Structure formats: structure tokens, C-alpha cells
Structure 1
Amino acid sequence: PNPNPNPNPNPNPNPNPNPNAAGYQVVGGECPTVGIAGGYSQGGGHSALTSRHGLAADQVLEWEVVTGTGNHLFANRQNNTDLYWALSGGGGGTYGVVLSMTSKLHPDTPTVGFNLTFTSAGIPMDTYYEAVTAYHASLPAIVDAGAMSVWYFTNESFAISPITAPGITLSGLQDLLTPFMNELDQLNITYTHYFGQFSTYLEHFDTMFSPIQVGIAQYGGRLIPRSVVENNNTALTNAFRFINENGGQFIGVGINASLARSGYPENAVNPGWRDALIDTTLTTPWNFTAPWEEMVANKDKMTNLLIPALAELTPNGSCYLNEGDFQQPNFQEVFYGKNYEKLREIKDKYDPHHMFYATTAVGSEYWVPQKDGRLCKAN
């Protein structure tokens, strides 16, 4: 049945498949294999363009959905507004089957990129981590200018790879990074770096991003509020150092996804995104041929040792649900924040028989997984 046909059909049923060729840029994932309309946008979706335009969920104008009761609906700001709100950041795979998504395009801009690397070889470890602290201190100015950063570090090496600066001039980005690079010089740290100027965002993306290898790690994370970096930066670095020294791997995404930057959207994005400065992703190794017990131990280490080191600094904090620990305690609050109860009401409305399930999706409490993998009703 189709009781609610789209009252505002797309006037262009065959949009240009290449926004870049038409002079536009689209908020999408940092990895080119990430699909835009699935759990990425439905779960929030950070992007190299987030500090300029907001999260992927903030861009959505309409969802086309088949609900758990078999109804074919269009959800937007005028029709089925509760479903539109829930799908825009409240997690994928639980309210219905999304058939299509309509999202914003933005005029393209010249884009500047930046990479920088150094190692801990030949320098005291305290000095190395002092440099890490200095980079985190530089992030507020960088993201507030509209740039976004991805960076990685272990006890052996540090890499910014890359900074994406759409609509920022080369000299503008150089000015933003000068304090950090001066700090490296003062610490006698030798580094290599690269600035690149590109005529379009896509040219930058194709040059400075590459597919991310998957299937080799187990995940967990935490959204680090700006206030922690501004007021407790050394303690944050100490927590990251503890994680590195105990078998974890750090990946950081520096963004400004504030309501003001995102256009004050009305959606179900975890409120923790709005004052976050660092989306921290932690990994432990996964190997399909390793003993199962070792992999379980790595997963438990994530849950019981590594994430708590960051949770201690961010009480009542949040995590990006698409990069979280599937064993995350109190996932309802951590992944969804204050939105969870409203999201569960919407789940019950559009999927009253709980046809759709995922371990940490909204409404998963309805089912209890059994040892053989089957699901039984909780009550």
C-alpha cells in the first residue's frame, strides 16, 4: 500500500550523478567506499566537510521508506516528521527499509590539504607526547575556520593525514598551523609536511584520501568535548598515551559540528556531537586466523580498560554510534543521548512488531540474543 505518496516529488528524477562536474560538493564519508544513504547518514555521518556544512544527517531533506508494517512513506519536514527526525541521526537498520534519500548539495570550493608526520625516534617519550598535546590545542582554531583533520598516533609515530580546508586559502591554513609547527621546532622534533592546493573538493579528496582497510580491527570510541581539550588537555593526552601503551590504536577526527555550523537542524543526531572537538576512534587488532580467545580478550580490553580511560574524562559522555563498541555499557545514553526514549517511541510506531533488529539499535531491548544466535522476546 502507498497511503502517503510523496506530495513534493523530485522535479529532477535523473540528477547529475557527478556533483563535482556540476560544480557542487556533497557531505560524504572520508573513505570512498562509504555509502551515503545507509547507516552513514542515518547514524550522523562525519565528513571532511563537516566543519563547513555539518554532519551528513544535517543535510538530509527527505527519506523514502518502507516501514515495518509494510507502508511506503516519504518522511520530510512536512510529512511523517517524526520518522524524518529519527532517521536523520537516530541510527540505521531499525525503523524501516530506506529506499532513497534526498540530500543537500553545496557550491564547490577550492580546497587546501595538509599532511604532516614525525616519529618518536631519538626523542624522550614525554617530549613526543608534548607535541601531541600541542596539536590538540591547535584544533579549535583549525575547525572553527572550517577545516577538518584526521590524525593517527602510536608510541612510535604521529601522522596528520590529512587536514581538509575547503574555501580556506593556502596562506590561511599556513597561519592556522604555524603555532603548532613552531612548537615542533622548539621541541627539536624533525617532521615532514605537505601543503596541496586543489581547484575542487573532489580533486583534494581523490589525492589525499584512500580506501581504509577493514576487517582488521575491533572498534570503540568517545566524543571528546571541546571543553576537555581547553581545560584538561594534558590529562587527555595521558589517557591517549595509556591507551597506546595498553594495546590500543588511536584515530582522531577533529571537527566543528555545532548547531550553528550545521544550520540548526531538527534531527536525532546525538547531542554530544554539537560540542565535540575530537571524534576518537579506538581499535584493537582483529585477525580471522588468530585464536578466538585472543580476539575476545582484545574486545574485552576495549570495553573494560581502554574506553573507561576516556569515559573518566567525559562523564555522561557520548560516542559516534557507527564507530562504537558493540559491548558498550549503557549504549542507549552513550550512542543516542537524551533522544533515546523519543526514538524508541518512534520505533514502536513504525515497526510495532520489531521486525528490524541490530545489537545496539534503538529498540533492541525487545529481543534477547541466545547462545545459538537466535532472538527471543524479552518478555
Structure 2
Amino acid sequence: MIKSYINVDIILIILLSVHTIYCQDDPLTKLESTIISHGGQVLRITDSQYHAAAILHNRVIQTWPNMLIRPATFDDVSLALSTLSSLNIPIRIMGGRHSYGGYCSHQGIVTDSVLLKGLKIDLQSETVTMEAGVLWNDIYKVLNGSEHIIVGGLCPAVGVVGFTVGGGYNAMYSRSYGYASDNVLNFKMALYNGTIVTASSTINPDLYWALRGGGGGNFGFVLEMTQKIHRINQTNLPNGQYLFLNLTWVNTDIRKALNNWFTFIKEVVDFDTRISFNTIVVITNSGNFLTIWCSFNGPEVEFNSIFDSWLSKDPKPNPYNVVHYAQIDIARELAVPFPVPKREHVLSAMAINITDAMLDVILEFKPNSTHQIDAWTDFVYLHNANKDKNTAFAFPNISFDIAPGVSWLDADFDPLALDMAQTMERKLIDAAASTHSIPGAYLNYIDPYLPNWEKMYYRNNWERLREINTKYDPTWYFRFPQGIPPYFSESNISNINNNNIIVMAILIIILIIQTFYLNQ
């Protein structure tokens, strides 16, 4: 009997030794230790930093990853991709965490760019080079006090990469300087196998074209990009300031106020790209209001002669002031907190114009007071904003992004609130159908419930984008529900790690042997 137990001990020692060897050689263990040794982080749900790191802007679509990998160097991003793709372990790429569809996260492994914070601004060449973990507020703080602005997000907590590769419009600056995607000079990107490539107008120009407006999580992990910055028109104003107005109409004839605005746009603003707007309409059972944020990239002496034809009409806005704001001030004025305090669903309809039938739908979009569901419609005016037509951004002829939204507190009301928003969007698209006024939707407001999303986001660029993804991501490693699939994908991505199978098999054998001898 003693001899038998000695034999069992020997077997156990051998098996445990094999187990230890496999653990030491486990690529995931090596990856984790390498990333940590280079100043990165690996977070799991038991770590104190995990919840703050994993929570998304949109509380309605929240998943909790098994692991957050936060590389601190480009080489470690490359190592993570080559390791995980070779093991057929799927990932998602996380940047600013503002993804409306929640596609930057899933229940597996997430590679988070938050520690890649390199930022270099060159005022002489008027460029900024920024790494993937930079947020727009990081750049606004550095540019504050200069006469330059960058085409970035109105919400300062938005990540620079996700915003830009989705097209990246800014309601206050894009009419003067284009979309963010128009202004990118080059990208540095890690492919699925860890290879790091550059994309510009002369190097990998097909990838450069695709990333400017067709990115949104496709093709690879953007590590860094260089973008143009712009000196504002009226440079004798201190600190890169714009003229900024916050106009409101409360409990008045909103249709008439909007039609006055549309007339001003058609007669004046379409021809003057110094003027930009972001507009919100809220209709309730007890009242309504219209808010229009306006920026003017020109001298104040011209303001009255340009704007009086609009602002002198009835119904007049509430009293307002014309203020001088730098980019950081406008971002602070219009920012949405991260994460949003309420549950939220925001949609998009890219519109060539707004017809009376579409306006009827917008003015009928009301909150559900019984369930405390708020409703609003946002208009972003984008006529002549797309400056570079040779990008993958699919809407060069757009004048408005119409963004219906709802917000609420109680998770039990999720189905009702989502149905409210989706119903409104369908009605809006149906109302526009006869005039073809809505050809698609904005990629950065990506909607997981949107039918025919391939054409709604990418229009005629869909086939070309698939060809490019076949070249750079042939196994469709960077996969998510509304990602661009390559042709003839041979992906066999699985959550199973072969080494883990071996380790589990060893442990099972140990348990079987122990059970057998203990029962003798």
C-alpha cells in the first residue's frame, strides 16, 4: 500500500511538473508579464480599477470584459495582437469608450489604448501627432492660448482615433476646416498579426483612404496619427477664439423659428462656411424649446450685418450675448458627461435636406412622461463641411445629421425607450423616402438595431472597403457585429486556448488518479 502511494506521488510530481512547464510557456502568461514589465496594465473584474476602466459611455449597452489589456508601448500592442490572433482569441479595441453600439467591448479580452498618451504639436508645420489613448481634451488643453484649433469632438472625453476613423465631424468647426478624416496626414497601425504599417497618400494609399471615414474598428489597431491644425480666420482675437452664441426659443412657434433658420441657411449660410450650427429641438406636452449653438469664424464687426436678417425675425430668440470662446470653452459648453448620468440611445439620419414631411415627424417626437423617458432631436449642419472627397466617408453631399435621442433612468424601461427611438427613426426615414433626402447614417452614432446597415453607413464604398479589409485583415480578426467582412474569410476565431486545454486535461488526469487510489 505504501509503495502504491509512493507511485502516486511520483506520478503527481511528474504531472505537476508538466503543468508548471505549460504554465510557464503559456503565451498569455508571457504576454501579461511583458506588458506589466513595460509599464502596462492587465485588469480583471477583481481589480480595484476595473469598473472605472470598463464602463462605457452608453449605459444601455454595457458589457464587462474578462480581461482588459492596457499596453504602454507600440511593441506591446504588436505582441498582444500577434499572440492573441495566433491563439484564435478574439479581441475588441477600446479607445475613448464612447461607442454608441458598445462595439469597443465584449465579454472576452479587450485591448485598451488608454496608456498610449504620446502627443506632439508642431505650430510651425501646423500638425499634431497623437497616440491612440489621447482624448480630445488633452489636445484642447495644449492648444489653449494659441491661435489654432483642431477638428475634434465637441465632447472632450471622446477618443481621437475612434472619432477620426468614423469621419469625425465637429458642429462648430467642420464647415470651416472639414472633417477630422479630411485632415489626417498619416496613420501608424498594427495589423492582426502584429505587423506595424504606415498609411498615407503615398504609403499604403488604399488603407489610408479606408481609414479616413470607413474605420470604426475595422482593418487594425491604429497606434498613432498625424493631423493638420488650423489658424482661425480672425487671428487678432486672443487665444484662438471664435464668436459663439447660445440662442433659445421657449414655448413659442417652433416650426416657424426652424423655418426662419432654414431660410437663413439657404440664403446666407450655405455660401459662408465661417458659420456653423448645432441645434436641439425638444417638444413636450406642456411646452417646447429650441436651442441653437452657433459659431462664427470671422470678425465681430461683420456679425450684425450677416445675422440680423435672421435674428430680427419673429419669433425672436431669448436675449443672448455674443461671446469670444476658445475651442476648450466651446467643448466645455457643449460637452456631455462621461459616462452619461442617464441611460441613452442616440440615432442618426444623414440628410441632404429637411422636408416638411420630415419636420412633421420631428415635431411629433415627444417624451413619455408616464415612464420618464425624455426625447429630443439634434440637427448638426454640415453643408460644404466635407473638404476632401477622396476618402471613405460616404456622405460628401450631406447638409444635416439629424440625431433623434432618448434618455431615461430605469433599466426596466429599456425596451420601451429603444422602441420609441427606433420608431421615430423609421418614421423619419419613411418621410424622407419620396425625396431620397436620407441616404444613410453617421458611422460614429453606430446603431446596433439599424436595418441594412451596410448601405446606411458605407453606401457605394462597401465593396471597395471589403476588398481592402481582405488585404489587411484576411481572417477577419477585428470582428464585431457591424464590422466590414473580408471576402472568403477563413477565420476560425475561438475563445479556446490550446495550452489551456492541455493544462485542463492534466488536472483531470490528476483528479482521476487521486480518486482511484483513495478508493483502494
TM range (shorter): 0.7 to 0.9
Q: 1:238 to 1:302 in 2, by over 3 A?
A: closer
Q: 1:331 to 1:300 in 2, by over 3 A?
A: same
Q: Distance in 1 between matches of 2:436 and 2:248?
A: 28
Q: Is 1:152 matched with 2:280?
A: yes
User: Per-residue deviation at 1:329?
Assistant: 1.4
Runs of at least 5 residues in structure 2 that lack an aligned partner in the other structure: 1-73, 76-117, 123-138, 236-240, 369-373, 490-494, 496-520
Aligned to 1:218: 345
Aligned to 2:361: 239
Q: 1:133 to 1:361 in 2, by over 3 A?
A: farther
Partner deviation per Cα, 1:189-233 (whole Å, 9 max, x = no partner): 5623221134xx3365256433356353212121121xx34xx4x
Q: Is 1:176 matched with 2:312?
A: no
Aligned to 1:82: 206
Is the Cα contact below 8 Å between 1:132 and 1:237 reproduced in 2?
Answer: no
Q: Is 1:113 matched with 2:244?
A: yes
Q: Give me the identity figure in percent.
A: 22
Aligned to 2:380: 253
Q: Is 1:56 matched with 2:180?
A: yes
Aligned to 2:322: 195
Alignment partner for residue 405 of structure 2, among 283, 297, 306?
283
Q: 1:216 to 1:340 in 2, by over 3 A?
A: same
Q: Distance in 2 between matches of 1:346 and 1:175?
A: 49
Runs of at least 5 residues in structure 1 that lack an aligned partner in the other structure: 3-11, 368-373, 375-379
Q: TM-score when scaled to structure 1?
A: 0.78
Is the Cα contact below 8 Å between 2:351 and 2:398 reproduced in 1?
Answer: yes
Partner deviation per Cα, 1:318-363 (whole Å, 9 max, x = no partner): 2111114321111111111111110011111111111112222322
Q: TM-score when scaled to structure 2?
A: 0.59
Q: Distance in 1 between matches of 2:379 and 2:488?
A: 34
Q: Which of the pair has more CA radius of gyration?
A: 2
Is the Cα contact below 8 Å between 1:51 and 1:143 reproduced in 2?
Answer: no
Show the 5 A alignment for 1:1-379: 14-15=120-121, 18-36=142-160, 38-47=161-170, 48-108=172-232, 109=235, 110-120=241-251, 123=252, 127-140=253-266, 141-142=268-269, 144-145=271-272, 146-155=274-283, 156-166=287-297, 168-184=298-314, 187=315, 191-198=318-325, 201-202=326-327, 204-205=329-330, 208-212=333-337, 214=340, 216-225=343-352, 228-229=353-354, 232=355, 234-244=356-366, 248-259=375-386, 262=387, 264-270=388-394, 272=395, 274-287=396-409, 289-298=411-420, 300-302=422-424, 304-311=426-433, 313-314=435-436, 317-363=439-485
Q: Could you tell me which amino acid in structure 2 is paired with residue 100 of structure 1?
A: E
SS in 1 for 2:293: strand
Count of aligned residue pairs for this structure pair: 337
Q: Distance in 2 between matches of 1:69 and 1:112?
A: 48
